[in-house]
Amino acid sequence: MRKLVRVILIVLAVLLVVLLAGPFLVPVPALEGTVPPEQLADPESCFVEVAGLQVHHKVGGAEPGQCAVQTLADGPVLLLLHGFAASTFSWREVMDPLAQQATVVAFDRPAFGLTERPMPGEWQGPSPYSPEAQADLTVALMDELGIDQAVLVGNSAGGTTAMLAALRHPQRVEGLVLVDAAIYGGGSPFPGWLRPLLASPQMRRLGPLFARAIQQWGEEFGRSAWHDPTGFTQEIWEGYTKPLRAHNWDRALWELTIASHPLGLSERFDELQLPILVVTGDDDRIVPTEQSIRLARELPGAELVVFPECGHVPQEECPALFLDAVQGFLAGW
């Protein structure tokens, strides 16, 4: 019996060593050809320091190099928040048309686009990739740009951030436009007991390899976001993947994964006493259309618009319908 126990202990010890040391033996080749995000900027790109981060943003209707935000005396300010694996690029079809009626700013959330991607040890306090930090950054960006109040327009995971910002800073958010918003299914896909493991040194080493896989499955995922997948052209795919040339994009995406967690937003709907528009395509296969219909039904006083023959990103696939809905919503104020 003692010999059996000894054998079992030896086997367990070997397994423990493999689990602890094995990940450090897996080769993780360095990314090649990455550059500072500023080197990927467009003529319309602007950068401002917010909470210690260089935040990339664009101003609707502005000339290249014009970064000052001039608010309209009789129009609202729209702050546009993109979804997962997206950037300001996803608002390209609607920014300038919306700027005819409102002041419009789109920005890249941390881990995406051309916003700075800090690494562990480069920040103090909570992770800048956490949902709460991203919601607070949204309002801090408003402070830096001289915006007192804004209507937050959030697509998919950006809708999650927009709603959380409205709950954390209700005096700063004038209204919400939730575009196929990931409210019920948002947060981490991993169970709570597993999340500490994701932040271990072993997984922080291997995590970037999992993040890099988006280069293989991301294009098909992008097509699935459209009702008509042929509309997702090679040019659009290149626009989405351009930020994957920025330093540390893979590590930042893993840090976002580590910092994500369920938010329980549906339990706080009664706190949202402000105008809300919910829009969705009738063929959303990412955030099922039924979830947006349910969201509009459960949010106090929310309006609902469902776009026919449209998918998860109506601002890209069905921009005319999207503009009609948002401009009509704003006109009713």
pLDDT per residue, tens digit, the chain (333 aa), is 454 445 344 433 333 333 444 555 566 678 889 999 999 999 999 999 999 999 999 999 999 989 989 887 678 999 999 999 999 999 999 999 999 999 999 999 999 999 999 999 999 889 999 999 999 999 999 999 999 999 999 999 999 999 999 999 999 999 999 999 999 976 666 676 677 788 888 888 899 999 999 999 999 999 999 999 999 999 999 999 999 999 999 999 999 999 999 999 999 999 999 999 999 999 999 999 999 999 999 999 999 999 999 999 999 999 999 999 999 999 977
In this prediction, residue 116 carries a pLDDT of: 98
In this prediction, residue 188 carries a pLDDT of: 67
In this prediction, residue 26 carries a pLDDT of: 65
In this prediction, residue 111 carries a pLDDT of: 98
Residue 330, SS3? Answer: helix
Domains of the chain: 43-331 (3.40.50.1820)
Q: Which H helix or E strand runs over 11?
A: helix 2-25
In this prediction, residue 199 carries a pLDDT of: 82
In this prediction, residue 187 carries a pLDDT of: 66
Q: How many CA atoms lie within 13 A of 303 on its CB side?
A: 15
In this prediction, residue 18 carries a pLDDT of: 38
In this prediction, residue 19 carries a pLDDT of: 43
| Distance of alpha carbon 278 from alpha carbon 224, whole angstroms | 21
Beta strands in 4-51 (DSSP E): 46-50
In this prediction, residue 281 carries a pLDDT of: 98
In this prediction, residue 16 carries a pLDDT of: 37
In this prediction, residue 327 carries a pLDDT of: 96
As beta bridge partners, residue 153 has 80, 177
In 107-259, alpha helices (H)? 131-145, 157-168, 195-198, 201-212, 214-224, 234-241, 249-259
Regarding pTM above 0.85, the answer is: yes
| Distance of alpha carbon 115 from alpha carbon 87, whole angstroms | 9
In this prediction, residue 70 carries a pLDDT of: 83
| Distance of alpha carbon 243 from alpha carbon 245, whole angstroms | 5
Residue 75, SS3? Answer: coil
In this prediction, residue 186 carries a pLDDT of: 66
